[in-house]
Amino acid sequence: MVEISAKLVKELREKTGAGMMDCKKALAETKGDMEKALIHLREKGLAEAAKRSGKAASEGLVSAYIHPGSRIGVLVEVNCETDFVAKTEDFKNLAHDLALQIAASRPQYISQDDVPAEVVKQEKEILRAQALNEGKPENVVDKMVEGRLKKFYRESCLLEQLFVKNPDVTVRNVLHEVIARVGENIVVRRFCRYELGEGT
């Protein structure tokens, strides 16, 4: 058995925010391989998040972010299962990071499920016309449309976006990692983004 040093556990904990015992276990199971341990914790977090997704989330908080210069402002409501978790630093930091993400990346929807069917239909028609105008043959157009539709979701849906603080992961990954750490379901309920002069 590989001896896992406290320094290694601390390093993994700082990278993931996971609990000390979870980090030690992940390193033990991956024989001290930091990269594999990171993947192991992420997979565990996703499994934990999937398990909790059915739980009612009616507590939480509304977080606000005003960009320096006061030209952009965001309000986001993030829910969890208990008032206890809503008061934790982990949860507050997540809510703040989500507000920051919305300010920086301008999502229009929370997730792919929230995009209205007529918007998806219209987007597909536009993407199809673009592909045909590029002279692509019919048999590859549908594949191109699907690929470009994924890009549309990645840009317009908050949970599908790459996380501004770490572009190696999506916002959904970040959410699932916090769910795994706090042991409660967390839901982004709604958000509103204001930009000075927008729509005038």
* Residue 1 is assigned to a structural domain of this protein: no
Domain harbouring 20, CATH code: 1.10.8.10
Query: Does residue 106 sit in the same domain as residue 161?
Result: yes
Same domain, 186 and 94: yes
Residues 151, 161 share a domain? no
pLDDT tens column, 120-131:
899 888 888 888
pTM higher than the cut 0.75: no
Domain of 102, in residue numbers: 59-111+157-195
Mean pLDDT of 126-141: 82
Q: H helices of the chain, where? A: 6-16, 20-29, 34-52, 83-86, 89-105, 117-133, 138-156, 171-182
- Residue 66: inside a domain, yes or no? yes
In this structure, what CATH number is given to the domain that contains residue 150?
1.10.286.20
Q: What is the pLDDT of residues 154-185, one digit of tens each?
A: 999 999 999 999 999 999 999 999 988 888 88
Q: Are residues 85 and 127 in the same domain?
A: no
The arrangement of strands across the sheet holding 59-66 comes to 59-66, 72-80, 187-195
If asked whether residues 180 and 100 sit together in one domain, one would say yes
Q: Are residues 68 and 106 in the same domain?
A: yes
Residue 4 — pLDDT band, cuts 50, 70, 90?
confident
Q: How many domains does the chain have?
A: 3
